[in-house]
Chains A and B, each alone.
Chain A
């Protein structure tokens, strides 16, 4: 880490540093783009994990989390502006493609506009929304933003601020869809968008020319809500983000808070958490298989997948008391101990599923039509996957070994033995196979742990009011769809000053456009299905 610090201060003497779990570099906005280029090309920080918009009262700004795919080292960069009326920062969307949506998100929540960003539209909120909700001085008066039942105006033209050669700023407009294009709205209510995503798609006959993603149809403002809740209260939102990886999400929040408090979680809880995470992953991948096959028209597969998923839900239900929103992990451990039948049932299930997976492969994977629909469709190169930040199973299908469980092990993942499933084709078929193979790996992990759960406490006793020491904390876990990051900035109060959820799914939709271009409508559906995004996770 000192090494990175030296390199950066050698390149940019005015940078200041804050040491911590992740090194934080503060740079002035004018030098940021230069440093970003240096970080990406010379120090190989080629994966932009997250951009966290911040409002510190006097100043506003962003914190960028970067990871190097070469050695998995992390660094964060803080950029500030003191202009609250017309905050401007320089874009990095030309360096990391994932910044394209992240910066639009920051603009949406904080009103910070990015110079040279081609598309400064709101991402989650309506384009006629008044105010920027995550600013600390946001006026939450419902009269300003009543429930509007008329549709928002379609904005085919975007505004951008461009810096000219001589350093002046100019307002420009960019056209997204010209009037003569045949634009089809896919979503928000559409059976194949897995929820309420809206894809405005420009078509030439059956061929997709361009996809423009509209999010926010299930934006619930969780990050803002968290700011007024205590830490234990914020936990339950995690279950409702990506409900298909409820346990892992909650694991991330708990880890982040436990890290900050430096609590040692009991071994028994660690074991159970790891098993639960993997069960959740299996359940999620089964759901993926069901819905993906249904998207391709293989309806029967849907029922088979759900049949087996119900068995996992039974196991969860006995221990957690719910089928979907479990509320099982707490800060310092677990809510309750295991059900006595848990181990037996899990073992039965682990013995049952591999045979069923074979059945899935005979039913669907081996099918000629299915193979033709999947192979060679929606290609995503490794470079693009990293640049768009498409991690998780979808990234691993493009040859990017990005599993957080391997790169930054948490819980018991450094003690168990498992393979990181990586494929290099980068097409729909690879993404499909990675998920099905991960089910086997998950079973393998569970089998190693299930017989060895140690006796002991399942939780550390915690006070009802928890105060985190001042600082910024960022933790990632491998959720079913990719790395889920939780960022907490604490000012020493009982509630977080800022809690940012870095969803695994938002980058996935950013990559939709390049993957779908030139394909057919049916390919768009197949690609969307193979990325397996969950909308409430990206909209939060």
Chain B
């Protein structure tokens, strides 16, 4: 399997041969920034198109089909449109926080991109507490949403923001615990370590029932984290017009819109990293020739394939289920998911201590 670190090391060595170490680092930073931004934009455009087509498919419609063949550049048209829309300046708002909020949301999801392993050796930073970092940065997003709702000076946005706050804080716990379950199983917080540990079978297969339970809880909580249906209370269209971003126009709204899809990708990416082996191909112990064939498929495709598959499931949720009410939402988390999660973690610890896993 091709290791992308060969490419990155080659670039690193090339740069270091022509300029001092700090210059090479600087150039690399800029390069990585540009690449990430590009990836970010392309992914967002892809996801917007993907969701529209998928939901059209569920709803016996055609979906976008006029702009480009099969409508594939529909989201590009949307991007041009939203870039040139007017940014309405409002009175009676906290201008600084109002303008800061969308960037916070975007930055949070970009930071999370930093440690996602897109392929073998294709990762911006790889350090020993990668999972911890991931959880830490992904919870900055809620700050942006809270600020957006608070600073807009609008009752709907305020309600939306508070709902979002309550929701995120609760479901962050579930995410934390289900991730913790898998960290216990893997015995490491390093992302590379977790992926490498799944070389002989993905965690969802090797981890017994606790891993499956953790995966399901993670899916539910992850959907809630991304504010998508059936947990889309913060922007519940039929209740709060557009929720916390009611007052945002133009590219600021675009940021929220993009962040929603990117968070979807991050949640799906983390799920595939923790449970489905990240970029690791499907290996079945004993079937050597099968494993060899699987190794021919590039690692990047494995990662994106898994992420898109999980995103598809989450999109499926959205277009099937009605929305929960706020008290039911909190009840689900605190009365069911959290105790279940704790028990699950305990069982996982027992399994690891007594070595009951494969």
* Chain A positions near chain B (C-beta within 8 angstroms): 182, 184-185, 190-192, 203, 206, 293-300, 303-304, 307, 363-364, 367, 369-370, 372-373, 520-523, 525
Q: Which of A185, A295, A364 contacts B238 (CB 8 A)?
A: A295
Instruction: Produce 1/0 per residue, B174-200, CB < 8 A to A.
Output: 000000000000000000000000000
- Complex: A521 Cα to B162 Cα, angstroms: 13
- Complex: A127 Cα to B17 Cα, angstroms: 80
- Complex: A304 Cα to B326 Cα, angstroms: 27
Chain B residue with Cβ nearest A299: B319
- Give every chain B residue within 8 A of A369 (Cβ-Cβ): 230, 321-324, 328
Query: B92 near A: Cβ within 8 Å?
Result: no
Q: Which of A192, A206, A300 contacts B326 (CB 8 A)?
A: A206
A372 to chain B, nearest CB (A): 6
Query: B58 near A: Cβ within 8 Å?
Result: yes
- Give every chain B residue within 8 A of A294 (Cβ-Cβ): 238
Residue pairs across A and B with Cβ atoms less than 8 A apart, 28 shown, are A182-B155, A185-B155, A190-B241, A191-B238, A203-B159, A206-B326, A206-B327, A296-B322, A297-B229, A297-B232, A297-B321, A298-B323, A299-B59, A299-B319, A300-B58, A300-B59, A300-B319, A303-B61, A304-B60, A363-B320, A367-B322, A369-B321, A369-B323, A369-B328, A372-B328, A373-B324, A521-B239, A522-B233
Indicate if the CB atoms of B239 and A367 lie closer than 8 Å.
no
- Complex: A367 Cα to B322 Cα, angstroms: 8
Answer whether A296 and B159 are a contact pair too, CB < 8 Å, given A191-B241, A303-B60, A521-B239. Answer: no
Query: B48 near A: Cβ within 8 Å?
Result: no
- Complex: A297 Cα to B162 Cα, angstroms: 19
- Give every chain B residue within 8 A of A295 (Cβ-Cβ): 238
Answer whether A293 and B322 are a contact pair too, CB < 8 Å, given A307-B60, A520-B327. Answer: yes
- Complex: A463 Cα to B163 Cα, angstroms: 64
- Complex: A372 Cα to B324 Cα, angstroms: 8
A196 to chain B, nearest CB (A): 14
Q: Which of B322, B325, B326 contacts A364 (CB 8 A)?
A: B322
- Complex: A206 Cα to B155 Cα, angstroms: 12
Query: B116 near A: Cβ within 8 Å?
Result: no
- Give chain B interface residues in 58-74, CB to chain A under 8 Å: 58-61
- Complex: A525 Cα to B323 Cα, angstroms: 12
* Chain B positions near chain A (C-beta within 8 angstroms): 55, 58-61, 155-156, 159, 163, 229-230, 232-233, 236-241, 319-328
A528 to chain B, nearest CB (A): 10
Chain A residue with Cβ nearest B231: A297
Indicate if the CB atoms of A298 and B322 lie closer than 8 Å.
yes
Q: Which of B55, B61, B322, B326 contacts A297 (CB 8 A)?
A: B322
- Give every chain B residue within 8 A of A521 (Cβ-Cβ): 159, 239-240
In the A-B complex, the 4 residue pairs with the closest CB atoms: A297-B323, A303-B59, A298-B322, A296-B322
Chain A residue with Cβ nearest B318: A299
- Give every chain B residue within 8 A of A304 (Cβ-Cβ): 59-60
Chain A residue with Cβ nearest B321: A369
Q: A370-B322, A521-B239 are in contact. List 13 more A-B contacts (CB 8 A).
A: A184-B159, A192-B238, A297-B321, A298-B322, A298-B323, A300-B58, A303-B59, A369-B230, A369-B321, A369-B323, A373-B328, A520-B325, A522-B326
- Give every chain A residue within 8 A of B323 (Cβ-Cβ): 296-298, 369, 373, 522
- Give every chain B residue within 8 A of A192 (Cβ-Cβ): 238-239
- Give every chain A residue within 8 A of B163 (Cβ-Cβ): 206
Chain A residue with Cβ nearest B237: A191
A49 to chain B, nearest CB (A): 32
- Give every chain A residue within 8 A of B326 (Cβ-Cβ): 206, 520, 522
- Complex: A297 Cα to B320 Cα, angstroms: 9
B22 to chain A, nearest CB (A): 53
B58 to chain A, nearest CB (A): 6
Indicate if the CB atoms of A525 and B60 lie closer than 8 Å.
no
A284 to chain B, nearest CB (A): 20
Indicate if the CB atoms of B320 and A300 lie closer than 8 Å.
yes
Indicate if the CB atoms of B155 and A297 lie closer than 8 Å.
no
- Give every chain B residue within 8 A of A363 (Cβ-Cβ): 320
- Give every chain A residue within 8 A of B159 (Cβ-Cβ): 184, 203, 206, 521
Indicate if the CB atoms of B321 and A298 lie closer than 8 Å.
yes
- Give every chain B residue within 8 A of A191 (Cβ-Cβ): 237-238, 241
- Complex: A296 Cα to B177 Cα, angstroms: 30
- Give every chain A residue within 8 A of B238 (Cβ-Cβ): 191-192, 294-297, 525
- Give every chain A residue within 8 A of B236 (Cβ-Cβ): 297, 522
B5 to chain A, nearest CB (A): 44
Chain A residue with Cβ nearest B323: A297
Chain B residue with Cβ nearest A301: B322
A380 to chain B, nearest CB (A): 19
